[in-house]
């Protein structure tokens, strides 16, 4: 396999940690990065909040000293604001790479014309990409998107050609439509079609990668240049060690015992406490990870509940000490985690589907308190 080339950046192995709201903060990125190389993207932030120097947003894009390259994903709907945000990142040396989010399927984003709804407006997409690339200087600009809104409104091939024409360095495609949300099965054949349509730049595949073997199968079947891993690494930071081994042609895979998993859980919560500066907040934030870490292991309901309701590091460690440390890695543990249900419909602005070429910039409130990826 070859390194992933994004402008002047060279990434090995060609693996990207997908930005996930409330997940891919500095502590989680640290755990993943320690397992193997790649590109580790911070939580998605809005361009409006960045240019307004929102304190919470600026805190979210803090990187640890050892984090290289530094990667930021932006969500934006207005070409001018996106351009200002990218210029700020480049001018103030806030990151080494900028990714643009056109894949978020959550209703509060799509109903305002953002995320996975936006590529339907081809001219708006082009204007945003043009402003981003123009203001990026030497920083590579990439984009992440879905196949489209639904099977009747597919946009990924048009969006891919627009991206090439506007100087985007790479495209990541999640093989689902917005209406699928995270349900059903990712369509890897769409990734192959996009790769054929845009041979000029790297194409990364995303969707249903639960193990390193899944990643190698996706690359073999689609010809994509690398993979983007999201839900597959929830409670599984060592997946990046497996991915590095697989990319190097090695068969070894991390299969931690429950005791080793418990040690990782302890370290994760500790890193969160150091980053947040508030132990109670950190342990509360860690609760959502407990079920992901323990998936597949035999752990009693009472102990699971105690771990998922801990309020202090001491209480969490007390529960972790009760786990059967010698219990081996369970068979069949590399299975779906996180959200899985499809949606009945995609919430869109009134008249959004009337004209795919209308230059309709969503209103400013499209960037208020958004999350997703």
Q: Measure the CA–CA gap between 7 and 139, rounded to whole angstroms.
A: 7
Q: Mind telling me the catalytic residues?
A: 104
Question: Strand 203-206 to strand 141-146: parallel, antiparallel, or no bridges (unpaired)?
Answer: unpaired
Helix axes 301-308, 279-294, angle to 10 degrees: 150
Length of the chain: 373
- 188, 231, 310, 346 from 292: Cα distances, Å: 25, 10, 16, 28
Q: Measure Cα distances from 325 to 32, 234, 291, 293, 321 in Å.
A: 22, 20, 17, 14, 8
What does the DSSP assignment read for 302-365?
Answer: HHHHHHHT--SHHHHHHHHTTS-TTPPPPTT-----S-----S-----TTTTS-TT---PPPGG
SS3 294: helix
112: which residues sit within 8 A by CB, 6+ positions away?
77, 349, 362, 363, 365, 366
Q: Extract the tokens encoding 329.
A: 């890695």
CA triplet 116, 118, 121: central angle to 5 degrees? 140
Token reading at 97: 């790479």
Whole-number Å distance between alpha carbons of 194 and 204: 10
């Amino acid at each position: 396999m070859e390194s992933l080339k994004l402008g002047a950046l060279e990434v090995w192995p060609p693996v990207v940690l997908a930005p996930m709201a409330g997940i891919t903060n500095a502590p989680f990125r640290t755990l993943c990065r320690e397992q193997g190389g790649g590109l580790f993207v911070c939580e998605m932030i809005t361009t409006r909040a960045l240019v307004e120097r929102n304190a919470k947003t600026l805190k979210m894009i803090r990187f640890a000293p050892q984090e290289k390259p530094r990667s930021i994903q932006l969500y934006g709907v207005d070409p001018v604001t996106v351009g200002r945000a990218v210029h700020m990142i480049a001018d103030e040396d806030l990151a080494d790479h900028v990714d643009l989010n056109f894949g978020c399927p959550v209703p509060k984003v799509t109903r305002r014309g953002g995320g996975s709804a936006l590529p339907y407006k081809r001219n708006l997409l082009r204007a945003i990409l043009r402003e981003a690339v123009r203001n990026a200087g030497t920083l590579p600009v990439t984009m992440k998107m879905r196949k489209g809104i639904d099977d009747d409104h597919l946009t990924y091939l048009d969006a891919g050609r627009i991206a090439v024409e506007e100087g985007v360095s790479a495209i990541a495609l999640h093989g689902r439509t917005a209406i699928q949300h995270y349900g059903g099965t990712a369509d890897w054949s769409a990734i192959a079609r996009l790769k054929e349509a845009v041979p000029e730049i790297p194409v990364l595949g995303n969707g249903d990668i639960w193990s390193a073997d899944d990643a190698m199968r996706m690359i073999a079947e689609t010809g994509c240049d690398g993979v983007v891993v999201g839900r597959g690494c929830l409670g599984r930071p060592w997946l990046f060690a497996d991915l590095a081994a697989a990319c190097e042609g090695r068969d070894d895979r991390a299969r931690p015992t429950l005791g080793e998993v418990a040690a990782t859980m302890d370290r994760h919560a500790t890193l969160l406490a150091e980053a947040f500066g508030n132990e109670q907040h950190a342990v509360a934030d860690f609760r959502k990870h407990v079920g992901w870490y323990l998936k597949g292991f035999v752990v009693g309901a009472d102990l699971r509940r105690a771990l998922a309701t801990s309020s202090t590091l001491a209480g969490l460690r007390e529960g972790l000490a009760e786990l059967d440390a010698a219990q081996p890695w369970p068979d069949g543990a590399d299975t779906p985690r996180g959200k899985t249900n499809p949606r009945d419909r995609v919430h869109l602005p009134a008249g959004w589907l009337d004209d795919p070429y209308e230059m309709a910039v969503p209103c400013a409130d499209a960037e208020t308190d958004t999350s997703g990826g």
